Amino acid sequence: MNFEERLRTAINLEVPDRTPVVPLIYQFALKHKGRPIVPLAGGNPADWHKIIQAIEDTFDDLGGYDAIYAAGVTWPISSWRINSAPGNKYVSPGERGIQKDFSVQYEEREVMTLEDYDKIANVGWNEFLREYIPRVSGISIEQLDTVEKTLLNIYKKDAEKWRVRGIPVMSGALLISCEMTLSLVRSLPKFMLDIHRHRDRVKAALEAMTPDFIQNTFTDVKESGIPFVTFSLERGSGAYFNLKTFEELFFPELKKQVEAFAREGIISVLHMDTDWTLNLPYLKELPRGMCICELDSTSDIFKAKEILKNHMCIMGDVPASLLSLGNKEEVIAYCERLIDVVGKDGGYILSTGCECPPDARFENVVAMIDTAREHPVPRSR
Amino acid sequence: MSELSSALANLEEEKVARIIKQELGTGKDSMGVLTELRKGMDEVGQRYKKGEYFLSELIVSGEIFKDAMKVLEPTLKKDGGGPATKVVIGTVKGDIHNIGKDIVATLLKGVGFEVYDLGIDVPVKAFVDKVVETKATIVGMSGLLTPSFESMKETVDALKEAGLRNKVKVIIGGGVVTELVQRHTGADAFTDDAMEGVEIIKKWSAKSN
């Protein structure tokens, strides 16, 4: 099987010749190649080609693997551009006296008001941004559009490099879920209080966001030519909210979005940081074979296999702490267990639990990739 | 459970405010009101343990408690109160995540601890100095990223060097913290769950008192 076939076989819930392995190595690659750690689309744009080179060189230093999670430094960001507005920003290592070998961090502040829920509900997401973006950032939506178009074109060029090498790219668009987006710009505690005090207003805003989120994502996927959308879902989980809220407010929007993409043959990569164990049964309502349930090691991935086998491909979840503090033997033992249990009968992609930490031991990441190459996929018969 | 405790446990904001106003207006002592609020917070913790409440309910209860304390605090000083276990808490050097740390700090205050919250990106020395100054017996360190592990370890080492390690219990918390991290840093306990962290600290406090 070539890389594309192996990846597609796993997504289609069939048994590949071996388990595909796809670590998320952005910050790890920068550290490995001695580059400053900057956020996606951050730092000096003149240096972005060096970042891409660092990712490509690290990919080769690791001996290669089955797909690249995101093609480059300028991930398509139409649907979440609100998060890059001033007031909410990324803080890079070296800034504000933070150690240079630290990770990129997101600084969360309350930049959206309670009244903004009503505005979103009344006019929809894209129209709301026309008024909101200038208010919080001082730039017009047209200026932002121009920047984003440039970023998308750079992404397309980066994706082309991987295509030439025969390496599939697993993201043609990035969609931060409606609830995640609102919680980031309201701040998490405020968003929780809003749901407690003004549940109907929040629900109306969430419902009004979905059609534009779908349309924006279609635009990005069409432009990038990569039929995969990455959902950033962290804050909808049972680690944060009760199932009633998930059922009434969050899941209906996720379902509408995934179904719309599936109808167009687009695979939804559900990047599910934090503990989603309680929410897993709901994922059976999403279209079979059209999603990837990507877990970060806080959810019970073995339970996920029990619940989602023959319905949804599972991806994950070598823990960050194991990669940075564990030894090679411990990494191999954990990866073999993943392949034996979660990988049984296919439908599984071995990966880091969320992003590979910058301080991961190189030999541990190699051990993870080698285990996927060498350890056979068990079959029931 | 009293009406006030129940109202807090049920997250009834307006009802809590109304009862506090009534009780203080009729001369009830503020320490008694605080005790009822703490019982309500305890009940929130019980419901979380049973899986009836989630993080959002912890945060909402914490906000109601904070609002109630704004009303009570001026009168509490007059009434005094018994000595409480002191906890020094903060997000470690380099890490600017505050949400998890803030939740634990609020919950600890809610169940009666004296909390010294040092904020985010807290230098190693600041933890040590605060323990010396307050004679706190518990240190809570939060971090959401793997590079935070080294900051946690340096803080534990610094407590050791200052001759304080056998006088304080250390708990580390955060989404990526595991037993492996606890061993690496030399902490006494770890958690990735705010309420579990509070329970561990409550047990330590009960043993030492």
Residue type, A342: V
**Which CATH number applies to B3-79?**
1.10.1240.10
Give the ipTM of the model, two decimals please: 0.90
Tell me how far apart the alpha carbons of residues A328 and A330 are, in angstroms, rounded to a whole number.
5
Q: How many domains does chain A have?
A: 1
Please report residues of A whose CB lies closer than 8 A to that of B60.
192-193, 196
pLDDT value at residue A83:
55
Q: Indicate the burial class of B135 (C-beta count within 10 angstroms; 0-12, 13-18, 19 or more).
A: exposed
Write the pLDDT tens digit of every residue in B24-83: 999 888 889 999 999 999 999 999 999 999 999 999 999 999 999 999 888 776 555 567
Look up the CATH number of the domain holding residue A369.
3.20.20.210
Nearest residue of B to residue A357 by CA position?
Answer: B146
The verdict on residue A380 lying in a domain is no
Tell me how far apart the alpha carbons of residues A255 and A262 are, in angstroms, rounded to a whole number.
10
Domain with CATH 3.40.50.280 in chain B: 86-208
Domain with CATH 1.10.1240.10 in chain B: 3-79
- Asked whether B142 and B93 are in contact (CB, 8 A), the reply is no
Contact B181 A321 (CB under 8 A): yes
The verdict on residue A45 lying in a domain is yes
Residue (of B200, B169, B176, B182) closest to B45 by Cα position:
B200
- Asked whether B19 and B67 are in contact (CB, 8 A), the reply is no
Domain with A67, as residue range(s), is: 3-374
pLDDT value at residue A81:
58
Tell me how far apart the alpha carbons of residues B89 and A350 are, in angstroms, rounded to a whole number.
37
Q: A313-318 and A291-295: which strand pairing?
A: parallel
Contact B184 A197 (CB under 8 A): no
**Kind plus residue range of the DSSP H or E element containing B112:** none
Domain B86-208: CATH superfamily is Cobalamin-binding domain (3.40.50.280)
Cis before A317 (ω within 30): yes
Separation in Å, CA of A342 to nearest CA in chain B? 21
Separation in Å, CA of B208 to nearest CA in chain A? 31
- Asked whether A292 and A11 are in contact (CB, 8 A), the reply is yes
Instruction: Report the DSSP beta bridge partners of residue A350.
Output: A21, A316
Tell me how far apart the alpha carbons of residues A78 and A175 are, in angstroms, rounded to a whole number.
8
Percent of chain A with pLDDT over 70: 97
Please report residues of B whose CB lies closer than 8 A to that of A276.
none
The verdict on residue A381 lying in a domain is no
pLDDT value at residue A77:
66
CA distances from A66 to A5, A289, A381, B60 (A): 10, 19, 26, 44
Question: What parts of chain A have a pLDDT lower than 70?
Answer: 77-88
* Matching residue, tokens 């020094």: B88
Question: What parts of chain B have a pLDDT lower than 70?
Answer: 77-82, 209
pLDDT value at residue A80:
54
Non-local CB neighbours of A113 within 8 Å, separated by 6+ positions: none
Non-local CB neighbours of B33 within 8 Å, separated by 6+ positions: B4, B20, B23, B24, B72
Contact B147 A102 (CB under 8 A): yes
pLDDT value at residue A35:
92
Nearest residue of A to residue B145 by CA position?
Answer: A103
- Torsion, Cα of A139, A142, A143, A146 (10° steps): 160
Q: Which of B53, B145, B178 sits opposite A103 (nearest CB)?
A: B145
Cα A73 to chain centroid distance, Å, stands at 14
The count of CB pairs under 8 A between chains A and B is: 92
Q: Which of B94, B99, B121 sits opposite A189 (nearest CB)?
A: B99
pLDDT value at residue A79:
55
